[in-house]
Chain A
Amino acid sequence: MGILDALARAEAAATGRAQPIATVRHVHLTERPLVLVPLAMAGEAAAPLAVMLGCDRERPRVLVVPQPRDRDLRRAFMSELAAAIAAELGMAGLGAAGSAADENAVEAGVASRPGALRGRVGGPEAEGASGAVSVGDAGASGEAAAAPAPGDGAVDGFAAAEPQLVVPNVAGIEFLGLLGRATRFQEGDQVGRWLTFFADRAQMPGSASLIAATRALGLHWATGQSAVEDANLASLLAWLDGGDPVAAERQAAGPQTDPEFDNQVLSPLIADYDDGWPGAADRITEALTGQLAGTWQQVWRALDAVRELPEAPSAADRWTWDVMAYAGFMTDPLPQPRSEGPIAAAARLDRLERAQARYEVQRAFDDPLVMAGYELTGDAFRCTVLAVERDRKEGRKLRPRITVDLASPVQKNGPWTSPARRGQTAELEEADGGVAVFVLAGGMGRGSAPAEGSVPEVGEQLVYTTLSDSFQRSATFPEDVPWTHGGGAADAG
């Protein structure tokens, strides 16, 4: 949070509407993200109650655990979840613990309970607020049975090369991580490891593999409330869409269910289920679907809002890293230990810090509104080109010189880089009042004269910054290969 973002919050508070803090979309969105809205049982570490998921907003799947304290049912749920994810993503299958060896036992265990889990809903509000469920789509269980026997190392049989997961909020990310941790050490598990990969990946600044809708919105708009309230998706959307944020706050987006719902509705239904009442499982599914439906729509609404912005160039590059990390995980997964040793922890921290720094630079390069924050601190300035010595050389090297009109004085030492020509540096030669002279190096191609468009033109408006997205290069970590598009803008232009 810098001054500019704080000002945007003040504006939002004064106007009652969210205010932009970005002009481009800093997060890549795939054509078909997989939305997951999980619900957890209160008081338990990682007891799933339900999840609504799917790539099609009109046809979400709903999986429910009628008695979350029952470990067999939980295991069956993970198996269903694995099958549902695989089906949504067009993968051959993700194994869940127990889904291969004792598939029949687990399935029988589920079947012996009245109408346990699975169902496909015809759109959450298709049947009114309660969101009636048409249980009985056997697709999910059929796919589970078709899952291949899990390999012992890699997560095998995948066809989806670029999955992107979206959950409502950061607590949702944490919950997927917990689910992964709770199951990934079980014999034959794959879905736990798969979820763990995404939860870990979500720690990487700028990664779009697993997105929280609240974060995606908060990256582009400021509300007039605090970060505490911004964790609530419904309330955030109310600032964006002109609703009442305080009224919206009452809608819990999970994974924690509303305590009142637990006490008034769910608890008696689970008691009925425990007592063996016929139809109890269906009523639980119906009640939980009602809780999930609103949040489901809100996540899609958030995606729509973010999608309207044009994508920032670097977002696509970061997504390439996400795709590569995923491919690496699928073919040659790194171990996912319970806890890492000090060296691994330090290396990870180092990686995250570098990624954070690079991410911040990339956002500034992509977005004038982010760059404006650096202008305020003197780490960037704007200027207009007055004169250009295009073919100037020092020895045999191309060293064009430009004279610029400064909007504000140059406060720092260079070298300076412009987002328009990222592979080129500018060194201040002299400044006199509002006029300065810079010598340029790099990013002009291999010829004896600068490539077309690689040197600024007279009249061009430029931003120069001390930020550089190729800084701190190191080949130690795969995440750290320097950004490779230096000079791309100039060469292309």
Chain B
Amino acid sequence: MSEGVATLCGMTTEQEPALTYSARTLAALTANPGCARRALLDTTGADKAEVAGQLGFPMPSGQSRFAITRGNAFEAQVKADLLAITGHEEGRVAEVALRLEVAGQVVGLEPDALLVEDDDLLFVVLAKSFPIIDGRASPEKVSAAARQAAVYVLALQRMGRAVSEEVILVCPENFSNKPVAAKVDVRRQLSVLARQLDRLPPAEGDGADPVAAAKAAQARYAPECLAACELAFFCRDEARREGATDAMGRSVRDELGGVSSVGEVLRQAMSGTGGGVADDETAELLSRAWRLRQAALASTAGTANTAGMAGVAGGV
């Protein structure tokens, strides 16, 4: 279905872009801007799911058929009555073939968003099938939608169109199928997106084997990747093998004084020195924490929680 629409509205005077992205991909691309691996794959248009499979870490199967059916039905319902639902009875439904410059090349955007034009101003409308219950929706889902919508708004802005920075989110209300519209201000997401898009290095490595290229490129894994990037299982495995503290979450790494590897954390904790390579203050703190922890465990040893302790001495 989306292909049909794409051909319909893609017929403009401009040349067809070589790559087409979904707004979700682009939003995710900016979610981890420091990752060279992801930037490389995205800017060359490699199929990341395919690459992940070839690397031996396929992502688990996508969406449930029930969710897809429900999502499609809801979107069709919204489309059929778009102007009334969004409160723009005087406006008209607009279609624009969206393009955006990413890493020095113009790419097309999959038309997942709906557009309403009212008084010469465009409004981006996203139909999502998660519910708004008693005026509240899942914050994670709303912010994911906002990030996605910001991609459309930015593309329109950079194409020189007048577009509202408040997007319209349409969701089912409570436990019914009745669509309800909510405005979402995406200015913050827009500025983050604009800044991070502009920082992307220009695309290179065209024609190279994407699997080899992916392996060679520097990653910057964090647990957030699990929800955002097809390569997450591969990168997580790599990070865990390296003993990266990042794999346990940035907040854990921060608590550990920013020390990047588990082995180094434990070495400093046990020795109390930075060993000439790291700062002694961090090492001192880690080692005090380590001693306090051991003392507390020792004070209750035999009476309490000692499961898993057996391996400690050998493993470090």
B7 on interface, CB distance cutoff 8 Å: no
CB distance from B182 to the nearest CB of A (A): 14
Q: Are B308 and A368 in touch, CB under 8 angstroms? A: no
Would you give the 0/1 interface string for A303-344, flagging 1 where the beta carbon is closer than 8 Å to chain B? 001001110000000000000000000000000001100000
Would you give the 0/1 interface string for A342-353, flagging 1 where the beta carbon is closer than 8 Å to chain B? 000000000000
Which among A15, A226, A228 is the interface contact of B312 at CB below 8 angstroms? Answer: A15
Q: Are B248 and A20 in touch, CB under 8 angstroms? A: no
Q: Are A225 and B248 in touch, CB under 8 angstroms? A: yes
Please count how many residues in chain B sit with their CB below 8 Å of the partner chain's CB atoms. 67
A87 on interface, CB distance cutoff 8 Å: no
Q: Are A262 and B315 in touch, CB under 8 angstroms? A: no
Q: Which residues of the other chain, A, contact B64 by a CB distance below 8 angstroms?
A: 42-43, 256-257, 259, 262-263
Q: How far is the CA of A443 from the CA of B278 in the complex (A)?
A: 48
Q: Are A376 and B288 in touch, CB under 8 angstroms? A: yes
Would you give the 0/1 interface string for B21-40, flagging 1 where the beta carbon is closer than 8 Å to chain A? 00000000000000000000
Q: Are B286 and A14 in touch, CB under 8 angstroms? A: no
- Nearest-neighbor residue (CB-CB) of B303 within chain A: A310
Interface size class of A (residues with CB under 8 A): 35 or more
B67 on interface, CB distance cutoff 8 Å: yes
Q: Are B289 and A42 in touch, CB under 8 angstroms? A: no
Q: Which residues of the other chain, B, contact A263 by a CB distance below 8 angstroms?
A: 61, 64-65
Q: How far is the CA of A4 from the CA of B287 in the complex (A)?
A: 10
Choose, from B46-54, B104-112, B151-159, B250-258, the stretch at the interface.
B250-258
Q: Are B300 and A226 in touch, CB under 8 angstroms? A: no
Q: Which residues of the other chain, B, contact A15 by a CB distance below 8 angstroms?
A: 308, 311-312, 314-316
Chain A contacts with B in 1-40, Cβ cutoff 8 A: 1-20, 22-24
Would you give the 0/1 interface string for B125-168, flagging 1 where the beta carbon is closer than 8 Å to chain A? 00001110111100000000000000000000000000000000
Q: How far is the CA of A43 from the CA of B63 in the complex (A)?
A: 10
Q: Are B61 and A259 in touch, CB under 8 angstroms? A: yes
Q: Which residues of the other chain, B, contact A182 by a CB distance below 8 angstroms?
A: 174-175
- Nearest-neighbor residue (CB-CB) of A7 within chain B: B289
Q: Are A376 and B289 in touch, CB under 8 angstroms? A: yes
Q: Which residues of the other chain, A, contact B289 by a CB distance below 8 angstroms?
A: 3-4, 7, 376
Interface of B: prevailing SS: helix
A220 on interface, CB distance cutoff 8 Å: yes
Q: Are B308 and A12 in touch, CB under 8 angstroms? A: yes
Q: Are A226 and B67 in touch, CB under 8 angstroms? A: no
Q: How far is the CA of A456 from the CA of B271 in the complex (A)?
A: 35
Q: Which residues of the other chain, B, contact A4 by a CB distance below 8 angstroms?
A: 289, 292-293
CB distance from B316 to the nearest CB of A (A): 5
Known contacts A13-B243, A19-B308, A181-B133: A3-B66 contact under CB 8 Å: no
Chain A contacts with B in 158-200, Cβ cutoff 8 A: 178, 181-182
- Nearest-neighbor residue (CB-CB) of B173 within chain A: A45
B92 on interface, CB distance cutoff 8 Å: no
A432 on interface, CB distance cutoff 8 Å: no
| Total A-B pairs, Cβ < 8 A | 187
CB distance from B251 to the nearest CB of A (A): 6
Q: Are B285 and A3 in touch, CB under 8 angstroms? A: yes
A229 on interface, CB distance cutoff 8 Å: yes
Q: How far is the CA of A225 from the CA of B221 in the complex (A)?
A: 13
B262 on interface, CB distance cutoff 8 Å: yes
CB distance from B299 to the nearest CB of A (A): 5
A369 on interface, CB distance cutoff 8 Å: yes
Q: Are B292 and A10 in touch, CB under 8 angstroms? A: no
Q: How far is the CA of A43 from the CA of B285 in the complex (A)?
A: 48
- Nearest-neighbor residue (CB-CB) of B297 within chain A: A369
- Nearest-neighbor residue (CB-CB) of B315 within chain A: A15
A44 on interface, CB distance cutoff 8 Å: yes
A365 on interface, CB distance cutoff 8 Å: no
- Nearest-neighbor residue (CB-CB) of B300 within chain A: A23
B226 on interface, CB distance cutoff 8 Å: yes
Q: Are B292 and A14 in touch, CB under 8 angstroms? A: no
Q: Are A1 and B66 in touch, CB under 8 angstroms? A: no
Q: Are B269 and A41 in touch, CB under 8 angstroms? A: no
Chain B contacts with A in 263-285, Cβ cutoff 8 A: 263, 265-266, 269, 285
Q: Are B66 and A44 in touch, CB under 8 angstroms? A: yes
Q: How far is the CA of A309 from the CA of B309 in the complex (A)?
A: 15
Q: How far is the CA of A185 from the CA of B76 in the complex (A)?
A: 30
Q: Are B293 and A7 in touch, CB under 8 angstroms? A: yes
| Shortest beta-carbon contacts, A-B, top 7 | A43-B67, A43-B70, A15-B315, A6-B255, A42-B64, A226-B223, A15-B311
A residues at B contact (CB < 8 Å): 1-20, 22-24, 41-46, 178, 181-182, 220-221, 224-229, 239-240, 246, 250, 256-257, 259-260, 262-263, 267, 305, 308-310, 338-339, 368-369, 371-373, 375-376
- Other CB < 8 Å A-B pairs besides A16-B311, A45-B172, 5 of them? A7-B256, A19-B308, A239-B308, A260-B61, A262-B66
